[in-house]
Amino acid sequence: MASAAPSLLKSSPVLDKSDWVKGQTLRQSSVSVIRCLPTAPSGLTIRAGSYADELVKTAKTIASPGRGILAMDESNATCGKRLASIGLENTEANRQAYRTLLVTVPGLGNHISGAILFEETLYQSTTDGKKMVDVLVEQKIVPGIKVDKGLVPLVGSNDESWCQGLDGLASRSAAYYQQGARFAKWRTVVSIPNGPSALALKEAAWGLARYAAISQDNGLVPIVEPEILLDGEHGIERTFEVAQKVWAEVFFYLAENNVMFEGILLKPSMVTPGAECKDRATPEQVADYTLKLLKRRIPPAVPGIMFLSGGQSEVEATLNLNAMNQGPNPWHVSFSYARALQNTCLKTWGGRPESVKEAQEALLIRAKANSLAQLGKYTGEGESEEAKKGMFVKGYVY
């Protein structure tokens, strides 16, 4: 926004009454006066710095036809929970083995355009000693990095949270860029059962906007992710109502912070009923409500909408994405899944070296399925029972 520029006016023999606020007494002309004059409007100011062209190129690369994002940015603690589910200890060696399995899937880059990493993974090597980042680049997969520092209670709200991590973000982002990251992710959440309060909405939107501006200034394409949690008994109409408010607030503050829309990606929740709602929605209903939301709130300048799965089953998330791509959209509508890509893969691996190849094939099957869904060509045929299992966790954190 244009800021007021102070202009020192020295004593002048004549002062026009129009220079004064109505109702003020005209002072003696001998008194020096400081006036704040608004600067002339210069049109929309976009501050993406020297990285503007690169940001646009990176965003378009990630939002390329038939491809989406593999979210493998679980914190070490959350990764430990997943390893525990297959009977493995939460050690760096086990985390390294699992992450190596993911990034070395042959042909993964045909369906995956970006991979969000946790900080440990960004600086980690595979079990063969190659940098994880280099392995991804060889697969034509853009490395990304989770930059937020997690959720903490929001004082003064209705038992809601806010996302921390702005302190030191600029220097961390610069270091991540040097390490090879080219996009970033910041996740904050909105809870429908708890309101959401106006305070929580504003905090979420402002934090995302500041993060996005800082990321672009340091060469990282920001993924903007205000996740509307699945928790609750509410119907799809209530989710739609809240989502409209969330995205209106988010784009207001993105504009206030001069974020370049052509150099961002979005990671929204699909518009679905609450996880505990008795009335379930079909993929067609989810697609209808979600696309209606996007068309009302998201500028076409944004290159890609990379949906999170939010605890849906692997098949459910893929079917919903496919339904959204049955007609043309002004943006690339795709996926940024974590559990909805990895669940069957993890279970298949089970920590057994002899099962690595089979687990990689399971991940590739899911990546191919979502690639087809991005193109609107997924049928759902031949899916395993494991892929149909829901993964909702109440109050999910990671």
Among residues 337, 311, 351, the alpha carbon closest in space to that of 73 is found at 337
Tokens at residue 121, please? 């993974």
Tokens at residue 119, please? 């900080």
Residue 267 known to be catalytic: yes
At CA 295, angle to CA 298 and CA 212, rounded to 5? 10
Tokens at residue 319, please? 């079917």
Q: How far apart are CA 236 and CA 26, in angstroms?
A: 61
Greatest alpha-carbon pair distance for the chain in Å reads 92
Residue of 146, 185, 227, 267 marked active site: 267
Output the DSSP codes for 218-239.
Answer: TT-EEEEEEEE---SS--HHHH
Q: Is residue 223 within 8 Å of residue 183, measured between CB atoms?
A: yes
| C-alpha distance across the termini of the chain, in Å | 36
Among residues 260, 243, 380, the alpha carbon closest in space to that of 320 is found at 380
Q: How far apart are CA 52 and CA 35, in angstroms?
A: 36
Residue of 119, 225, 314, 316 marked active site: 225
Q: How far apart are CA 316 and CA 203, in angstroms?
A: 31
Residue 225 known to be catalytic: yes
Sheet strands (E) in 140-219? 142-146, 151-153, 161-163, 183-190
Catalytic residue list: 225, 267
